[in-house]
Amino acid sequence: MIRWVSRASQRSLVVATLLLCFTAMKVWSQDVALTSADGTLTVEGRLLSFDGEYYQIRSAYGDLTLDGSGVHCQGPGCPSVNAFIAKARIVGATALGETLMPVLIEGFASQEGLDLRRVERAADDFSLELMNSDTGEVVAEFQFELSDTLTGFAALEVEEADFALARFAYEGTKFGTPRVLGLDAVTFSVAADNPMRAVPLDVLTQILRGQVENWAELGGPDLPLIAMGEVDEVDDQLTATTAFMAEESQTLSGQVVDRVSDDSISIGLTRLSDPGGAVALGLLGGCGVGFVASPQNLKTGDYPFASPQFLYQSANRKPRIIRQFLRYLATDSAARDAEFSGFVSHNLIEIPLEAQGARIANAVVQAGNDVNLQDLQEMMAELRDAQRLTLTFRFRAGAAQLDVLSNANLDVLVHHIETGRFDGKELVLAGFSDGDGGSAANRGIALKRAQAIRSALLARSDLLSASDVTLTPMGFGEAMPLACDSSEFERQINRRVEVWVRDLPQSEN
């Protein structure tokens, strides 16, 4: 039986990985002395970066950034100013470094009119060089050292990497808000000839523990059920899927896909980005609400096991061409690159209300005693002429802080507002709650969440308060549930703030 690591095993792996990185990782920064042009002042320290224009060093006075045109550099770590090549060292998840990231770099090179060359050093150790198409001169080098997400975090920790490729979020603020390269998802998959097309959400834990032994227990044929990727010590579905995304072994992942694709009695954890011949099952909540790993549901966060793929970066100043590449990641071209690689792009799209019939029907069906027809009518009246944006904000379980993806979504929305995409529009920040408590209280809680998102957006940029965009927080309580309220896991899915866009009344434009 193939098994993935448990949460406890992950913690042990983090410690072991950090120790390994501290003791075995080579040091790439060196001591230098920077002397002013008139020779009157010299600052010594450890060279953190040189971007072709500025030196950044760690000195006795703290981290300093000095203009390269005004100083002379002495020491073995001094770069060649005349033959400068912008370099970025990338450490982390093999699955991203072998697939998604190279395609993004290739797309950027094509946009800039540069040639691309791959230089192999060893397994999972290579460089992508960007060259002037006329002279063949190398202008930038992306150096890859690939293994797993935890090693990427460890490399950033000891300042041995410029970027970390991560298949799951770093729980903390040390590395700042990451960029989302693309979206993936954990799926529960079967062979194409298996008649099952959906399984209940509340039995996934039992399946992963190996406690479901026959498909008949799930309403299927009377055949044995073999779970591939069974997880020990599973606390809940999120623990299991986090453990799965932490597993970086491409060979092991491929074994699961191959087995599930060929064996009609197997069910396995697979990745949407690498399905092989397996078929992803739908998931059913206790009240019949369905979840499908569609691109739209991954973008909105409406599929419970969506998995953003992150790019974390160090604090040091990046060379100009590396900064240009980072800006490229926010373009539609980069979104197409992500989709070409098998991932779902994180680009922002608008969903008309008429395309959300299933959600609206579910809102009517699931309305309880505390949600009356008037509540639903008021919500529909507000959103009737609006379109939903594929950005959803959620808070950490039991906390007032946004989760990592939601923090990244703030940056995405701020970018689109600042670049004028929503000029003359109203953005409705629609807060929703779970079904615990009374209707009035839930509407109040939902409104506070929406107001918190508005405050966070305004705090992100000085330009927003003066922009030609209206931000309107509203609280709709439990009026449009995405899931049942039968478990904390499902209640967490319902607690969210959506973003809707609509035209302002003519008099307000």
In a domain, 267, yes or no: yes
Q: How large is the average pLDDT for residues 488-494?
A: 82
Looking at the structure, do residues 288 and 369 belong to the same domain, yes or no? Answer: no
Looking at the structure, do residues 296 and 403 belong to the same domain, yes or no? Answer: no
In a domain, 270, yes or no: yes
Rg over alpha carbons for the chain, rounded to the nearest Å, is 25
pLDDT, position 212: 93
Looking at the structure, do residues 252 and 381 belong to the same domain, yes or no? Answer: no
pLDDT, position 96: 94
Of 222, 210, 307, nearest to 267 by C-alpha is 210
The residue written with tokens 């006075």 in the block is 61
pLDDT, position 358: 73
Secondary structure letter of residue 367 according to DSSP: -
In angstroms, how far is CA 41 from the centroid of its own chain?
45
Cβ-count burial of 466 within 10 angstroms (0-12 exposed, 13-18 middle, 19+ buried)?
Answer: exposed
pLDDT of 8 strictly over 50: no
Strands of 282-284's sheet, edge to edge?
Answer: 198-200, 282-284, 290-291
Domain CATH number, residue 438: 3.30.1330.60
In angstroms, how far is CA 184 from the centroid of its own chain?
8
Q: How large is the average pLDDT for residues 193-204?
A: 90
In a domain, 228, yes or no: yes
Q: Integer distance in angstroms from the first to the last C-alpha of the chain?
A: 63
Contact yes or no for 36/69 (Cβ under 8 A): no
Q: How large is the average pLDDT for residues 357-380?
A: 72
Q: Give the least confident one: 23-27, 287-291, 382-386.
A: 23-27
Looking at the structure, do residues 287 and 354 belong to the same domain, yes or no? Answer: no
Q: How large is the average pLDDT for residues 84-103?
A: 94
Secondary structure letter of residue 426 according to DSSP: E
Residue 152, amino acid = G
Task: Show the 3-state SS of 311-328.
Answer: EEECCCCCCHHHHHHHHH
If one counts every other C-beta atom within 10 angstroms of the C-beta of residue 504, the result is 14
Q: How large is the average pLDDT for residues 407-420?
A: 93
Q: What angle do CA 313, 315, 321 make, to 5 degrees?
A: 65
Q: What is the token pair recorded at 472? A: 């309107």
Looking at the structure, do residues 290 and 365 belong to the same domain, yes or no? Answer: no
Contact yes or no for 182/100 (Cβ under 8 A): yes
Looking at the structure, do residues 276 and 352 belong to the same domain, yes or no? Answer: no
Contact yes or no for 503/385 (Cβ under 8 A): yes
Higher pLDDT, 361 or 438: 438
Looking at the structure, do residues 399 and 285 belong to the same domain, yes or no? Answer: no
Q: What is the token pair recorded at 244? A: 């799965």
Length of the chain measured in residues: 509
In a domain, 467, yes or no: yes
Query: What CA–CA distance (Å, rounded) separates 212 from 199?
Result: 12
Query: What CA–CA distance (Å, rounded) separates 306 from 292?
Result: 10
Contact yes or no for 483/439 (Cβ under 8 A): no
The phi and psi torsions of 503 (rounded to 5 degrees) equal -70, 145
| Mean pLDDT of the residues in the chain | 85
The residues, ordered by sequence, that sit 6+ positions from 101 with a Cβ below 8 Å of its Cβ are 90, 142, 144, 165, 181, 311
Residue 395 confidence class, pLDDT cut points 50, 70, 90? confident
pLDDT of 310 strictly over 70: yes
Q: Give the least confident one: 65-74, 269-278, 323-332, 368-377.
A: 368-377
Domains in the chain, number:
2
Looking at the structure, do residues 275 and 396 belong to the same domain, yes or no? Answer: no
pLDDT, position 284: 87
Q: Give the least confident one: 96-110, 184-198, 283-297, 400-414.
A: 283-297
pLDDT, position 227: 87
In a domain, 58, yes or no: no
Higher pLDDT, 18 or 153: 153
Looking at the structure, do residues 362 and 449 belong to the same domain, yes or no? Answer: yes
Q: How large is the average pLDDT for residues 372-389?
A: 86
Query: What CA–CA distance (Å, rounded) separates 3 from 342?
Result: 25
Last residue of a domain, one of 244, 269, 300: 300
Residue 350 φ/ψ region, left for φ over 0, alpha for ψ in the -120 to 50 degree band, beta for the rest? beta
Contact yes or no for 67/54 (Cβ under 8 A): yes
Q: Which DSSP helix (H) or strand (E) runs through 145? A: strand 138-147
pLDDT of 139 strictly over 90: yes
Report the percent of the chain where pLDDT is more than 90.
55
Q: How large is the average pLDDT for residues 421-447?
A: 91
pLDDT, position 249: 47
Looking at the structure, do residues 248 and 366 belong to the same domain, yes or no? Answer: no
Give the domain range for residue 196. 183-300
Of 229, 285, 296, nearest to 489 by C-alpha is 285
In a domain, 247, yes or no: yes
Last residue of a domain, one of 243, 267, 300: 300
Contact yes or no for 446/399 (Cβ under 8 A): no
In a domain, 318, yes or no: no
pTM of the model: 0.84
Q: How large is the average pLDDT for residues 353-374?
A: 71
Last residue of a domain, one of 271, 300, 329: 300
pLDDT, position 22: 39
Task: Show the 3-state SS of 3-21.
Answer: EECCHHHHHHHHHHHHHHH
Looking at the structure, do residues 365 and 478 belong to the same domain, yes or no? Answer: yes
In angstroms, how far is CA 401 from the centroid of its own chain?
17
Q: Give the least confident one: 233-237, 327-331, 505-509.
A: 233-237
Query: What CA–CA distance (Å, rounded) separates 41 from 328?
Result: 39
Looking at the structure, do residues 364 and 475 belong to the same domain, yes or no? Answer: yes
Secondary structure letter of residue 344 according to DSSP: B
Q: How large is the average pLDDT for residues 2-28?
A: 42
> pLDDT by residue (tens digit) across 217-250?
999 999 999 988 655 544 555 555 555 555 544 5
Contact yes or no for 378/480 (Cβ under 8 A): no
Q: What is the token pair recorded at 318? A: 């990046």
pLDDT of 3 strictly over 60: no
Query: What CA–CA distance (Å, rounded) separates 21 from 153?
Result: 10
In a domain, 31, yes or no: no
Domain CATH number, residue 275: 3.40.190.10
